[in-house]
């Protein structure tokens, strides 16, 4: 890795600095590097826009919707007065699980890729921030870039936790349900209630690869710790040279 020769204020044409600032071992303001980085900037901006729209907006909206449906099922369970009501609740719960599985399947293809990209970009952003000596436009740009990356990844993990919170609400309603005093609680209702209890005992977070990848707050902190460790190694290796 080259030395810190190509910092922003030491580039050949700092006025040609592209919107997305990267730490690079070469000067990206002179041809042909400038044209290559311009194409990469356009691609990165388009990809970031797509990820921001799909990851933050859609995933969060679907997660909030699922949590709301869980809350409605919990209220319906508290007000159930017949075995048919319990049967309707478990049918709605199965439809909700099917919708949640579809959402998880859509995110499964890019889950590891997103985690890797977040790790890499946060590490590079930390290194860029460590090179800031004065408070200027570049410093604010780097800080904004790092904060946006954190928000995107935190939103992804929060969406997974929101789904699990909804499942906890329904499971709490099941545990507090006074089935022993309900007149309509016959053998059919008991089987239905037992099936619903078993399904709600499982965590509803976005879990992939047999539990290897668990999208939760712990994974968010793990990525932060890993990026800080990688940043420390990167900084020490560069300064050693």
Flag whether 42 is in a domain. Answer: yes
In the chain, the number of structural domains is 1
- With vertex at residue 12, the alpha carbon angle to CA 7 and CA 18, rounded to the nearest 5 degrees, is 70
**Phi (first) and psi of residue 139, to 5 degrees:** -65, -45
Flag whether 62 is in a domain. Answer: yes
Flag whether 11 is in a domain. Answer: no
Flag whether 4 is in a domain. Answer: no
Flag whether 17 is in a domain. Answer: no
Q: Residue 122's domain is classified under what CATH number?
A: 1.20.58
* Domain hosting residue 99, numbered range: 31-240
pLDDT digits (tens, 9 = 90+) for 192-226: 778 788 888 888 888 887 777 778 888 888 878 88
Q: What integer best gives the mean pLDDT of the chain?
A: 78
Flag whether 23 is in a domain. Answer: no
**d(C-alpha 23, C-alpha 26), whole Å:** 9
Banded pLDDT at 5 (limits 50, 70, 90): very low
Q: Give the range with max mean pLDDT: 13-17, 92-96, 113-117, 186-190.
A: 92-96
Flag whether 170 is in a domain. Answer: yes
pLDDT given at position 52: 62
Angle between helices 83-108 and 59-78 (to 10 degrees): 170
The count of C-alpha atoms lying within 13 angstroms of the C-alpha of 49, restricted to the half-sphere facing its C-beta, is 6
pLDDT digits (tens, 9 = 90+) for 32-60: 888 888 888 888 778 777 766 666 677 88
Flag whether 186 is in a domain. Answer: yes
Which of these, 61, 46, 48, lies nearest to 103 by C-alpha position?
Answer: 61
**d(C-alpha 59, C-alpha 152), whole Å:** 11
């Amino acid at each position: 890795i080259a030395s810190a020769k190509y910092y922003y204020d030491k580039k050949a044409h700092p006025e040609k600095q592209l919107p997305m600032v990267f730490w690079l071992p070469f000067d990206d303001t002179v041809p042909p590097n400038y044209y290559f980085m311009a194409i990469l900037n356009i691609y990165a901006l388009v990809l970031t826009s797509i990820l921001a729209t799909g990851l933050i907006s859609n995933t969060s909206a679907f997660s909030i919707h699922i949590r709301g449906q869980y809350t409605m099922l919990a209220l319906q369970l508290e007000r159930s007065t017949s075995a048919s009501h319990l049967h309707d609740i478990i049918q709605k719960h199965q439809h909700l699980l099917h919708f949640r599985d579809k959402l998880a399947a859509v995110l499964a293809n890019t889950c590891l890729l997103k985690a890797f990209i977040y790790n890499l970009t946060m590490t590079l952003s930390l290194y860029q921030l460590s090179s800031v000596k004065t408070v200027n436009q570049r410093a604010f740009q780097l800080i904004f870039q790092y904060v946006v990356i954190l928000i995107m990844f935190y939103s992804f993990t929060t969406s997974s936790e929101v789904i699990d919170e909804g499942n906890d609400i329904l499971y709490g309603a099941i545990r507090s349900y006074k089935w022993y005093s309900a007149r309509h609680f016959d053998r059919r209702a008991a089987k239905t209630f037992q099936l619903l209890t078993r399904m709600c005992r499982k965590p509803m977070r976005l879990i992939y690869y047999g539990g290897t990848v668990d999208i939760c707050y712990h994974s968010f902190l793990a990525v932060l710790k890993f990026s800080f460790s990688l940043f420390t190694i990167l900084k020490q290796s560069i300064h050693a040279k």
